[in-house]
Amino acid sequence: MYHVEFPGLGIEVNINPDAFSIGGYTIRWYGILIAVGFLLAFIYAMRSCKAMKIDQNRLIDVVIVGVILGIIGARLYYVAFYPGSTYRDDPIKILYITEGGLAIYGGVIGGLLGAAIMSKIRKVSIPAVLDLASLGFLIGQAIGRWGNFINQEAFGTKTDNFLRMQSEATLAEVEGAAHPCFFYESLWCILGFVLLHLFTRKLRRYDGQTFLLYIIWYGIGRFFIEGIRTDSLIVFSTIRVSQLLAAISVFIAIILLIVFRNRTKLSGCGKKEIVLLNSMSDSVPGAEETTGEFGTIFGDLGYEEPEIKVENAVEDVDKALEKIAEENAEKGAETPEGSETIVDEAEESSESDKSISEEIISDSASDTAESAEETLSQETTETIPDVPDFSADPDENTAVKSEIISEELKNDSQKAIDRMTDVSSEKKESLEEKFQKASRTLNDELPGEDKAEKLESAIAELEAALDQPVKTVQETENAVEKVISEEVKID
């Protein structure tokens, strides 16, 4: 039993390190607090799996191995740097873990090693798991440090600041009130968790970035807090082990942040632009589909699915067409002349043409729906109608030409759809959307002569496209993804 005072705060409490006994076996508050910290960290991790795109079942396997090796690491770290020959003279005492002697750095090292090994075995992204584990460590450390308070250990040197703590233990060690180091570190971990949680949800650029920031954050705090403790493990007579390890860890983490500053491989939540970029590539094996609502045990710190806005879509498609044209040229295939113009023209179409284009496509879609099932598995043998002769004065024939071209557009749309023998109905809708853009282009408000030229150009492009073998949907998607991944720049 300890009588603990905080003179600067006017607080006095009596604490008993023993919680209760079962069959002669004593359960201590230190162990209970460690268990509570682990439980809350585990709940947080499970609730964050969707946001991080990590499979829960696989993560459980990772956690089990991580906990086992974490306990082993914490004990071995303590034993390795324990002053004196107690464990060398009687090695069996290494197993007496109930007598105390666990080092948090050893637990972190062992836990991370176990998690990394199991992640590799279970085919889970190791950097993503490390990001999630680092947030869990902060939760566990923030709560576990109060076990040091219950045991009246891990306090600092003598002080007279307003947070000073005094008990039988501090009086025996420093002959007065001491720094409550447990409280400093607990508060530091809570603040670190809040900041890194928000960073992970909104600003993370690549898997592993949160983990590196955790190493820096905890290392800086531990370096200064360790400097005022009275029970530090010592190496080389005067060097505090935890301070040395903290400094080395922070230095390495900073170097790695610089090295990986342009990395954008991200699974799950993070910076919106990076999430959009990675959504176009392969996802984490076993990951569940991310939804828009996530709760955590901390309520208002929940995850909000980024609102992805596809900007510059016309520019991206234009780049994709250029890439496909280059690939066709390399293979010796002929590329339809003016393949870029239809996208540019579609972008320039005005709102005044919208009603006209919608009417054209509506008619086309209804005609297509009636005959799509009958003709989907057959190769069309019909020929494209000859392009009308617009040699006459275009101003006098614009209305007639528009009607003729609109009808040919519907026919060509039907023929293109019939050629897609290996394409599902879902992909046909995508094809119709492309013809909507063409329709808007063909009905823009232009002088008669310019309009006639554009109509002739559009029909020529449609004819050329129908004369070539239809690319499979997968080939097209791959080409678009390749161009985007290579050329889209993130601010």
In angstroms, how far is the first alpha carbon of the chain from the final one? Answer: 59
Per-residue pLDDT at 301 exceeds 50: no
Beta bridge partners of 279: none
Per-residue pLDDT at 348 exceeds 60: no
The predicted-structure confidence for 43-70, as pLDDT tens digits, reads as follows 999 999 999 999 999 999 999 999 999 9
User: In this structure, what DSSP letter does residue 299 have?
Assistant: G
SS3 3: strand
The predicted-structure confidence for 120-148, as pLDDT tens digits, reads as follows 999 999 999 999 999 999 999 999 999 99
pLDDT of residue 343: 41
Beta bridge partners of 22: 25
Residue 278 and residue 128 in contact, taking contact as beta carbons nearer than 8 Å: no
Per-residue pLDDT at 491 exceeds 50: no
Tell me the average pLDDT across 109-125. 91
pLDDT of residue 460: 62
Give how far the C-alpha of residue 356 lies from the chain's centroid of Cα atoms, to the nearest Å: 43
Per-residue pLDDT at 443 exceeds 70: no
Residues in the chain, total: 491
CB-based contacts of 146, cutoff 8 Å, min separation 6: 33, 182, 186
Residue 130 and residue 116 in contact, taking contact as beta carbons nearer than 8 Å: yes
- The torsion angles phi and psi of 164, rounded to 5 degrees, stand at -55, 145
Spatial CA neighbour of 80 closest among 114, 105, 59: 105
Q: Tell me how far apart the alpha carbons of residues 134 and 126 are, in angstroms, rounded to a whole number.
A: 12
The predicted-structure confidence for 146-201, as pLDDT tens digits, reads as follows 999 999 998 999 999 999 999 999 999 999 999 999 999 999 999 999 999 999 99
pLDDT of residue 317: 52
Tell me the residue type at 68: I
Provide the pLDDT confidence category of residue 406 given band limits of 50, 70 and 90.
low
Q: Tell me how far apart the alpha carbons of residues 203 and 280 are, in angstroms, rounded to a whole number.
A: 19
**What's the mean per-residue pLDDT of the chain?**
74
Q: Tell me how far apart the alpha carbons of residues 83 and 357 are, in angstroms, rounded to a whole number.
A: 84
Q: Tell me how far apart the alpha carbons of residues 15 and 20 are, in angstroms, rounded to a whole number.
A: 13
CB-based contacts of 143, cutoff 8 Å, min separation 6: 33, 34, 36, 37, 40, 186
Is the whole model's pTM more than 0.75, yes or no?
Answer: no
pLDDT of residue 279: 79
